Amino acid sequence: MWTRQELKTNAKKSLTGSYWMALLVGLIASVLTGSTSIFQYEFDRNDMHRFAGMEVAWPNLMQNFWVQLIMVSIGIAALVALLFRIFVSTVIEVGESRWFSRNRESKPTPSLGQLFSLFQGSNWMPTVGAMLWMYFWLWLWSLLPLIPIIGGIIFTVIYIAAFQPIAWPADWDWGQWQQNWSWNNQTDQFRGFQDHAPEFFRNNQAAIAVIFAIAVGVLLVACLLTIPVLIKRYAYRMTPWILADNPRIGFRRALKLSRRMTRGHKFELFILDLSFVGWYLLGLILFVVGVVF
């Protein structure tokens, strides 16, 4: 049975004399696998105001050549990003595990080429297939918390439609409000609704109470169902390391071995991750310097 202290001590020993190469490998792998983002764009209210002057109907807007070109470019970029994630990032992820395994097993420090070694020979596609199989199952498990959310929405709609219809204020014209909406005058747009808000809440107290109770219940159940998702993530955690040693082991066997290796150790792995939270917070305060060192 391993301990966190023993694991961290062994990690420090294996990084002795190879720290800067390990840092370079981790940085390259983070960039190529999408773990970090160099370019980031934030869509804010100012962007909405830029679009406010575009009083153009959507059908006419979509017929514009430049708009079509932008949409096609976005589609191509999304496709390229998806293919890169499937055929490159997954292999780099396993290559990173291979580099650290080789660095732990022997000296001298492995070359940077170990990070890309799985692209050679007949190892590439088996690695891609096994990693896709792992991510497919993780995706399926990630849908579990959505079940109560979807069920809650369906139940709420049925309840409102059949038992407790929403009572809108008599002089509130929802269709007219939508037609008069303008991004240039958002404050005045909501003023009419604010004037009718007390009447709306007074007329729908029972429905609002039921909806609130459903929302709280759904949120609690969804939070509970994230626990199995977290467990499965730890169950499949050893898959890249298994593939690093034997890329052609087979996607089913790789996941089976990972589940077997983590059986009885998932909680310890969870606590191990929690033990690094302080370092990550320190790194954020010191602009990532704490994480690097």
Return the pLDDT at 48.
47
Return the pLDDT at 108.
85
Return the pLDDT at 176.
59
Cα 85 from Cα 94, distance rounded (Å): 13
Most confidently modeled range among 3-7, 179-183, 262-266: 262-266
pLDDT average, residue stretch 4-11: 86
Contact predicate 142/226, CB 8 Å: no
66-121 pLDDT per residue, tens: 778 888 999 999 999 999 999 999 999 999 999 999 998 877 889 999 999 999 88
C-alpha of 155 from chain center: 28
237-249 pLDDT per residue, tens: 999 999 999 999 9
23-57 pLDDT per residue, tens: 999 999 999 987 654 444 444 555 545 444 444 45
The residue ranges of every structural domain in the chain are 1-120
185-200 pLDDT per residue, tens: 555 555 656 666 777 7
Asked if residue 252 has pLDDT above 60, the reply is yes
